[in-house]
Structure 1
């Protein structure tokens, strides 16, 4: 599986209201047309509340 760039992911999170749960982030990305690669990356994030888009980017950066 190809790794996605956090900047690519942020495109699909435009308009996201924070704080947001992992599921909220995933649902929003899907509604914005995120592809399977982006969705599967988001599914690997820790199950936590994200306060800002930077928190989401940081979590993506920590995925192996």
Structure 2
């Protein structure tokens, strides 16, 4: 996903409580006004649970 930056991801997940599951992160991103492509990317992540923001970032930018 070329147009997504780590800063965009951090803004979308501001206020997330970890550990968090994928659905919680998707809801957090939506409530923070993330665009549909970012929400879709989070929805499609393979892992279902994340221990912190670094886990999410690695999963998002791995693909």
TM-score (norm 1): 0.84
Question: Number of paired residues?
Answer: 63
Structure 2: gaps (5+ residues): none
Q: Which runs of 4+ in 1 moved over 3 A?
A: none
Deviations, residues 1-57 of structure 1 (Å, cap 9, x unaligned): 754223211111111100000111001100111111111111221142100000000
Aligned-residue Cα RMSD (Å) equals: 1.6
Equivalent residue runs for 1:26-41 within 5 Å: 26-41=26-41
Match of 1:45 in 2: 45
Bigger mean CA offset, 24-33 vs 4-13: 4-13
Structure 1: gaps (5+ residues): none
